[in-house]
Amino acid sequence: MVLVLRGELRLTAGKSAVQVAHAAVMLSLAAEHRDPVGFGAWTRQGQKKIALVVPTLTDLEGLERLARGRRIPTVWVEDAGLTEVAPGTRTCLGLGPAPAVELDAVTGQLPLL
Amino acid sequence: MVLVLRGELRLTAGKSAVQVAHAAVMLSLAAEHRDPVGFGAWTRQGQKKIALVVPTLTDLEGLERLARGRRIPTVWVEDAGLTEVAPGTRTCLGLGPAPAVELDAVTGQLPLL
């Protein structure tokens, strides 16, 4: 599972962590319903996650298109906007769970958060 | 849901976010199985999460005792130790989902991550 933050929003560490967690929870619930056996294996193997960052929303949208082309599950996090950003702002794109080779093909060149 | 990081480990932003996400996923899966109706309501209300920090493991252990005393669900995140910390290191304590008044009683005085 890869969680990609939108760097231009300059969120605090805590707010960033919450966006990443929102994405991870949504991807996990979807995966559990779609493929309980595969999801169980992923959790037993340490539910591997990595948090990355791209500069802009346009970068995130490009990643989403690449992921969809490879049939990697994706989810957008839209913030409720109570604190640091406007309501409905897209803050994070989550991808996976998927085989590392698939995720690397889409996000392998991006910097760590 | 409240996710509390162990500050003394001085994890990077990305590593911190992943620990918070691990805790959120584990708490969510447990809540979904224990109380699907309540969990559904929590997700529809924006799956509220907040990331906080305490200095030490001892502080986290104190929080866990307080939470258990109030029957708030808790979960420990133990890192696989592949990068920044030794294997099995407790990095984060997750609490909830639970009513805000319950969580505030345990964690309301702690600083944001």
pLDDT in tens, A89-100: 999 999 999 999
State how far the Cα of B74 lies from the Cα of B64, in Å rounded to an integer. 7
Give me the total of CB pairs closer than 8 Å, taking one residue from chain A and one from chain B: 91
Nearest chain B residue to A77 by CA: give it: B46
Asked if residue A70 has pLDDT above 70, the reply is: yes
pLDDT at A81 over 80: no
Mean pLDDT of A3-15: 96
Contact between residue A33 and residue A103 where contact means Cβ atoms under 8 Å apart: no
More confident residue, B45 or B79: B45
Type and span of the H or E element at A76: strand A74-78
Q: Report if pTM > 0.90.
A: yes
Each residue's pLDDT tens digit, A18-53: 999 999 999 999 999 999 999 999 999 999 999 999
Three-state secondary structure string covering chain B = CEEEEEHHHCCCHHHHHHHHHHHHHHHHHHHHHHCHHHHHHHHHCCCCCEEEEECCHHHHHHHHHHHHHCCCCEEEEECCCCCCCCCCCEEEEEECCCCHHHHHHHHCCCCEC
Q: Which residues of A touch B91 (CB under 8 A)?
A: none
Instruction: Give Dmax (Cα) for chain A.
Output: 38
pLDDT at position B91, please?
A: 96
Three-state SS for A94? strand
pLDDT confidence of residue A80: 76
- Model confidence at B83: pLDDT above 80: no
Judged against a pLDDT cut of 70, whether residue B82 lies above it is answered with: no
Phi–psi pair at A97, nearest 5 degrees: -65, 150
> Per DSSP, what are the bridge partners of residue A54?
A6
Burial profile A48-82: b = 16 or more Cβ within 10 angstroms, e = fewer: bbbbbbbeeeebbeebbeebeeeebbbbebebeee
Residue A19 is predicted with a pLDDT of: 97
- Extract the tokens encoding A53: 């960052």
At B79, the pLDDT band (50, 70, 90 cuts) reads: confident
Position A82 scores a pLDDT of: 65
Report, as an integer, the average pLDDT of A9-13. 94
| Chain B residues touching A100 at Cβ < 8 A | none
Q: CA-to-CA distance for B97 and A61, rounded, in angstroms?
A: 31
What letter would DSSP give residue A112? B
- A32:B29 CB<8 A: yes
* Residue bearing the bigger pLDDT, B86 or B110: B110
Q: What's the pLDDT tens digit per position in A45-62?
A: 999 999 999 999 999 999
In sequence order, which ranges of A9-80 are alpha helices (DSSP H)?
13-34, 36-44, 57-69
* CB-based contact, A112 to chain B, within 8 Å: yes
> Is pLDDT of B54 > 70?
yes
| More confident of the two residues B85 and B103 | B103
User: Which two three-digit tokens encode residue B36?
Assistant: 């699907």
Question: In whole numbers, what is the pLDDT of chain A averaged over residues?
Answer: 95
Domains of chain B: 2-107 (3.40.1490.10)
The 3-class SS string of A2-23 reads EEEEEHHHCCCHHHHHHHHHHH
- Identity of the residue in A5, A13, A32 whose CB atom sits nearest the CB atom of B16: A13
CA distance A65 to chain B (A): 24
Question: Is the pLDDT confidence value at A79 over 90?
Answer: no
